[in-house]
A and B are shown apart, each in its own frame.
Chain A
Amino acid sequence: MKVVIVDDEPPARDRLRRLIEEIEGCECAGEAGNGHEAIALVARATPDVVLLDIRMPGMDGVEAARHLGSLDQPPAVIFTTAYDEYALRAFEAHAAGYLLKPVRKEKLSEALARAARLTKPQLAAIAATTTNRRRTHLSVRVRGELRLIPVEDVLYFLADQKYVSVRHRGGEELIEESLKSLEEEFEPDFVRIHRNALVAVRHMASIERGDDGQYSVRLRGLEEALQVSRRLASDLLKRFRG
């Protein structure tokens, strides 16, 4: 069984690696210090199980697990934490495996034997109940590979039939999420300007009024303007013009 260890603290990683090496049939397939590294490592090493610390700088464990969940062959995930009441309650509620640090060897081998993949809804529910519910990144699959888009680079989301297209500074991608759930997760940093459009407040340059009385929003680094629906125009103006 190939296990990957993800923890931002070197002593914590050392200890887990040693414990894993002592368990028969297990080997450590690599270590990562944060969520980003973890995703790259998992793609490379294709482990069976990932031991994921919850509290890590940059991208935390719960978010990393969500992104890992969109892989073709997602690994099983076991969360590790020193102390986090909310997260533990969420794990219990959604049957996610977890270990408390300092981890006991017996518990570790038990957890590894029982380790299971978490489904996307499970992961989303866990993320919603833990303290850090908003993701820092969106994950998209590009030709079988997992790519992360920093949320702060996103200019707007545009709903189109079944998919939502994400326009970001590095291009445009399709994701399988609803505009409504994105709006709920990233408010107030994103604002709805149209039934099908959610724009990033941080990238907004101006709100313009056309000859026909239609308002439109201009975003920095974007040629075209985005139409504001009549229904949402007054809310938008109230918020940004005071």
Chain B
Amino acid sequence: MRGNGNPNPTAPATSRAFFLPDFCATRSVLAVVLISEIVAIVLTLARHELEHGFWTDLARTSMFLLWVGLCGAAALCYSRPQLARMSVPQASATALAMLVAVALLVSEVTYRVGQYWFQDMQVGVARLFPVDHASFLLRNGFIACIVSALALRYFFVTNEWRRNVEMEAHSRIEALQARIRPHFLFNSMNTIAALTRTDPRLAEEAVEDLADLFRANLRETRNQIPLKEELEVARLYQRIEQLRLGPRLAVRWDISSVPLDTLVPSLVVQPLLENAIYHGIETLPGGGTVTVTGTRHADRIELRVANPVPTAGGGAGHVGNRIALDNIRERLDLAYPGGARVDVTEDNGEYVVTLAFPLLQPSPGPGT
């Protein structure tokens, strides 16, 4: 079954999606049935006192309206590709005309059926069919026109609303895109400036690493990337910092038990390493070791970044840290709604951030 107006996050065309849902999908058919029934109830309520023939009339009207509704849905379903190519006003007018035509057609058929098969019966079933041909068609035409216009308007507004929500989510992700700290950029430039004379080769490598790191940073964060690539970005970052901090910085990678093709939102590990160095290692005169541990628990992945922090002293600088963490938390939450966790613990001079999220491996096959 095809998804109904499914906000597929990877499809770039969502912003220009056609406002009418796919009427061949069960969800839309259900919506059509609901609309038909509501109209049937309204019409019947308008005609009868509750105790005089209400239920019979409701059954009759529903039956008729369901025919109209489902035939209309079928018509829209088949003409959707053509409608989708038109402008919104054009498509709306065409759809409206089609729906009124369908209502008139069904009315005509109903009238004929009543005339030919049940004409002779004076009581019972015959009373359920219309008698006055012209008035029946005219009334139904008007009702169809009004109700269809309302329904089309409803679908249009719903679609606009969904589009807005999607666009908002998208821009939020863009805004959340982890940015490399300016502090890091200028310090790296300074290191490179120093190295160009003392060790040009190392300076060259540092420039290459920096370029790759920025490329990764500019990549659209919407994309999920294999963990392997994310770890490579983190290692680029580590290499550059290593030049600057020398023996003060050590990083232990313990990630052999995690499948490296698992998909993660880009830039979740590198900012954690950056935080660990900026708020931890750099503030310790003797430096220290950052430990990155990856474990797999059945269908979940846990990544843990631990670093030593100074035990005493004011909590200055922690604000930046929290911003980066909130950012990662939000991006993980957008990637795995309700399925990701970010935990932070700090004790005994060790600061630990743990990310836990579902294992998501790319399906084997074309595409990647």
| A50–B198 CA distance with the chains assembled, in angstroms | 24
- Which chain A residues have a beta carbon within 8 Å of chain B's beta carbons? 8-12, 14-15, 18, 33-34, 55, 57-58, 82-84, 100-103, 131-132, 134, 136, 152
Cβ contact within 8 Å between A102 and B186: yes
| A102–B310 CA distance with the chains assembled, in angstroms | 28
Cβ contact within 8 Å between B317 and A15: no
B274 → chain A, closest Cβ, in Å?
A: 14
Chain B residues with Cβ below 8 Å from A34 are 285
Chain B residues with Cβ below 8 Å from A103 are 190
Our count of residue pairs bridging A and B at CB distance below 8 angstroms stands at: 68
**Which of A9, A83, A131 is within 8 Å of B244, CB to CB?**
A9
| A136–B314 CA distance with the chains assembled, in angstroms | 9
**Which of B190, B197, B314 is within 8 Å of A134, CB to CB?**
B314
What is the chain A residue whose CB lies nearest that of B185? A83
Cβ contact within 8 Å between A100 and B314: no
What is the chain A residue whose CB lies nearest that of B243? A11
**Which of B189, B194, B282, B285 is within 8 Å of A14, CB to CB?**
B194
Given contacts A55-B282, A100-B186, contact A15 B194 (CB under 8 A): yes
9 contacts across the A-B interface (CB closer than 8 A): A9-B244, A11-B190, A14-B194, A15-B190, A57-B310, A83-B183, A101-B189, A131-B317, A132-B317
Cβ contact within 8 Å between B195 and A11: yes
Cβ contact within 8 Å between B285 and A9: no
- Which chain B residues have a beta carbon within 8 Å of chain A's beta carbons? 181-183, 185-187, 189-191, 193-195, 197-198, 243-246, 282-285, 310, 312-314, 316-317
**Which of A8, A12, A55, A82 is within 8 Å of B194, CB to CB?**
A12
Chain B residues with Cβ below 8 Å from A18 are 197
Most chain-A Cβ atoms within 10 A of its Cβ — which of B181, B190, B193? B190
Most chain-B Cβ atoms within 10 A of its Cβ — which of A11, A12, A58? A11
What is the chain B residue whose CB lies nearest that of A33? B285
Chain B residues with Cβ below 8 Å from A100 are 186
**Which of A11, A14, A57 is within 8 Å of B283, CB to CB?**
A57
**Which of A15, A83, A136 is within 8 Å of B186, CB to CB?**
A83
The A contact surface, by secondary structure, is loop
The B contact surface, by secondary structure, is helix
| A55–B243 CA distance with the chains assembled, in angstroms | 17
Cβ contact within 8 Å between A57 and B314: no
- For the A-B complex with A55-B183, A102-B189 known, give 7 more contacts whose Cβ atoms are closer than 8 Å: A9-B245, A11-B243, A57-B285, A83-B182, A83-B185, A83-B187, A136-B313
Cβ contact within 8 Å between B284 and A57: yes
| A8–B281 CA distance with the chains assembled, in angstroms | 12
Chain A residues with Cβ below 8 Å from B244 are 9, 11-12
A206 → chain B, closest Cβ, in Å?
A: 22
What is the chain B residue whose CB lies nearest that of A202? B312
B105 → chain A, closest Cβ, in Å?
A: 72
Cβ contact within 8 Å between B183 and A12: no
| A58–B282 CA distance with the chains assembled, in angstroms | 10
The 10 A-B residue pairs whose C-beta atoms are closest, nearest first, are A15-B194, A82-B186, A11-B194, A102-B193, A101-B190, A102-B190, A58-B285, A82-B187, A57-B285, A83-B183
**Which of B190, B312, B314 is within 8 Å of A12, CB to CB?**
B190
Cβ contact within 8 Å between B193 and A9: no
Chain B residues with Cβ below 8 Å from A57 are 282-285, 310
Chain B residues with Cβ below 8 Å from A14 are 194, 198
| A9–B191 CA distance with the chains assembled, in angstroms | 9
Cβ contact within 8 Å between B187 and A101: yes
**Which of A9, A131, A134 is within 8 Å of B187, CB to CB?**
A9
What is the chain B residue whose CB lies nearest that of A7? B190
A121 → chain B, closest Cβ, in Å?
A: 22
Cβ contact within 8 Å between B246 and A10: yes
What is the chain A residue whose CB lies nearest that of B206? A11
A95 → chain B, closest Cβ, in Å?
A: 23
Cβ contact within 8 Å between B183 and A131: no
**Which of A15, A33, A58, A131 is within 8 Å of B193, CB to CB?**
A15
What is the chain A residue whose CB lies nearest that of B203? A11
Chain A residues with Cβ below 8 Å from B183 are 55, 82-84
Chain A residues with Cβ below 8 Å from B312 are 152
Given contacts A82-B183, A102-B186, A132-B316, contact A12 B191 (CB under 8 A): yes
A97 → chain B, closest Cβ, in Å?
A: 18
Chain B residues with Cβ below 8 Å from A58 are 285
B45 → chain A, closest Cβ, in Å?
A: 65
Chain B residues with Cβ below 8 Å from A84 are 183
Chain B residues with Cβ below 8 Å from A15 are 190, 193-194
Chain B residues with Cβ below 8 Å from A82 are 183, 186-187, 189-190
What is the chain A residue whose CB lies nearest that of B286? A57
Most chain-B Cβ atoms within 10 A of its Cβ — which of A34, A58, A82? A82
What is the chain B residue whose CB lies nearest that of A12? B190
B237 → chain A, closest Cβ, in Å?
A: 16
Chain B residues with Cβ below 8 Å from A152 are 312
What is the chain A residue whose CB lies nearest that of B186? A82
Given contacts A82-B186, A83-B186, A101-B186, contact A11 B191 (CB under 8 A): yes
What is the chain B residue whose CB lies nearest that of A136? B313
**Which of A8, A55, A132 is within 8 Å of B314, CB to CB?**
A132
